[in-house]
Amino acid sequence: MFNLDRSTLTEYLIEHRRRTPEATGEFNALILQIAQACKAISRAVAHGALADVLGSHGSANVQGEEQKKLDVLADEIFLRATHWGGDLAGMVSEENEAPIPLPASDQRGKYLLAFDPLDGSSNIDVNVAVGSIFSILRAPTPGEDATAADFLQPGRRQVAAGYAIYGPSTMLVLSVGNGVAGFTLDPIIGEFYLTHPGIRVPQTTREFAINASNARFWEPPVRRYVDECLAGRSGPRGVDFNMRWIASLVAETHRILMRGGVFLYPRDRKDPARPGRLRLLYECNPIGFLIEQAGGRASTGVRPTLEVRPESLHQRIGFVFGSREEVERIERYHHEPVIGSVQDELPLFHARSLFRDTEFAQ
């Protein structure tokens, strides 16, 4: 059952360092600190009610969202595990408005860390998979405290990115810029082992994921895409599609990395002040980096996510990613003039579509 030949995460990182002669070891130290944080969060998640980590913390974060106990705990765990290491010049977290001050006595390093300590918070209390997401950038002025502006770099400049998924097993999925590798935690030994080398996203798929409760706010290209998927074999796509919605970005990403698919949390018209739901710096950019490294495509719906120049730390943006062919199709729909949708062609969709509304009917 156990394969003793598997590399540990540490061995994988040492191997990577051998191929990077100028590496000092700071980068590996940082990744291992993050992995340590993920192990501690995994333990808290696994203990659930036994560790009194379910339920609301009774506070709101900078974005006005209710904080769960586990959001706050995971944030603290990330801070403790990483901010004494001396390899960081700054940190940004979903749960903190400004960059988190590093300890005064500590040296400043050359990396910036942006993270979502607990992703999929609405799933904590219902015992569904949640995760942590992280993005690593180079500090423009190594050795000095980073400013908020230092973090506003396009995702293409990420040095590494990854997530931990706390599911039936805990995994760390990582890219240091040469593909994507998945490591599974042995919870007894407390070690991540390389179990999924060279992860690739299948180019084609027949499975999509979108929060359909927002259908009335979708823009026409998204409506067209989803309507065509729903029309299945008798529609313009000529095949039946399957649908998933977990409401944990990490879990959706993991499914897509494992078996393909396309995920959409598009820009919509729900709230003009919030063009999209997901946050660019610590959700879309790291996931986009992993998806591109695995041969898939990550997009705003119009252009590659990793090309966007961020404007603020907690900026939200439309996000579409997954199997390349589907993402390219969605981008094409955004660039094409709006023409009649499948709704106009199929009588069923006129009066009774699940996603029917009048406001944006074409």
Task: Note the residues at the interface with ligand FBP (CB under 6 A).
Answer: 94, 116, 119-122, 211, 247-249, 265, 277
Contact 265, 319 (CB under 8 A): yes
145 is in an annotated binding site: no
Range in contact with Mg ion (rule: CB under 5 A) among 86-94, 189-197, 255-263, 300-308 = 86-94
Residue 116 in the binding site for Mg ion (CB under 5 A): yes
**Beta carbon nearer to Mg ion, 63 or 178:** 63
Tokens representing residue 67 in the block = 């904080």
The label of the residue with tokens 């130290």 reads: 29
Q: Which of Mg ion, ligand FBP, none binds 181 (CB below 5-8 Å, type-dependent)?
A: none
5 is in an annotated binding site: no
Least gap, CB of 264 to ligand FBP (angstroms): 10
The sheet carrying 170-175 orders its strands as: 88-93, 111-119, 130-138, 160-166, 170-175, 181-186, 191-196
Least gap, CB of 235 to ligand FBP (angstroms): 25
Least gap, CB of 276 to ligand FBP (angstroms): 11
Report the C-alpha gap between 202 and 261 in whole angstroms: 8
List the one residue from 38, 45, 68, 94 that touches Mg ion (CB under 5 A).
94
Burial degree of 327 (CB within 10 A; 0-12, 13-18, 19+): buried
**Beta carbon nearer to ligand FBP, 226 or 249:** 249
**Beta carbon nearer to Mg ion, 97 or 106:** 97
DSSP summary character for residue 307: G
211 is in an annotated binding site: yes
Query: What b/e string do you get for 158-177 counting C-beta neighbours within 10 Å, with b at 16 or more?
Result: bbbbbbbbbbeebbbbbbbe
Residue 119 in the binding site for Mg ion (CB under 5 A): yes
Range in contact with Mg ion (rule: CB under 5 A) among 113-121, 198-206, 309-317, 329-337 = 113-121
Least gap, CB of 121 to ligand FBP (angstroms): 4
94 is in an annotated binding site: yes
Least gap, CB of 247 to ligand FBP (angstroms): 4
Q: Which of 89, 80, 78 lies closest to 163 in space, CA to CA?
A: 78
Q: Which of ligand FBP, Mg ion, none binds 122 (CB below 5-8 Å, type-dependent)?
A: ligand FBP
Residue 75 in the binding site for Mg ion (CB under 5 A): no
Residues 6 or more apart in contact with residue 238 via CB below 8 angstroms: none
**φ and ψ at residue 270, rounded to 5 degrees:** -65, -45
Q: Which of ligand FBP, Mg ion, none binds 277 (CB below 5-8 Å, type-dependent)?
A: ligand FBP
**Beta carbon nearer to Mg ion, 87 or 94:** 94
DSSP summary character for residue 159: S
242 is in an annotated binding site: no
Tokens representing residue 89 in the block = 């010049």
Beta strands in the chain (DSSP E): 56-60, 66-68, 88-93, 111-119, 130-138, 160-166, 170-175, 181-186, 191-196, 207-210, 242-244, 262-265, 278-279, 297-299, 316-317, 319-322
Least gap, CB of 214 to Mg ion (angstroms): 17
Least gap, CB of 248 to ligand FBP (angstroms): 5
Can you say which residues are annotated as belonging to the binding site for Mg(2+)? 94, 116, 118-119, 283
Which residues in this chain contact Mg ion in the complex, by CB under 5 A? 94, 116, 118-119
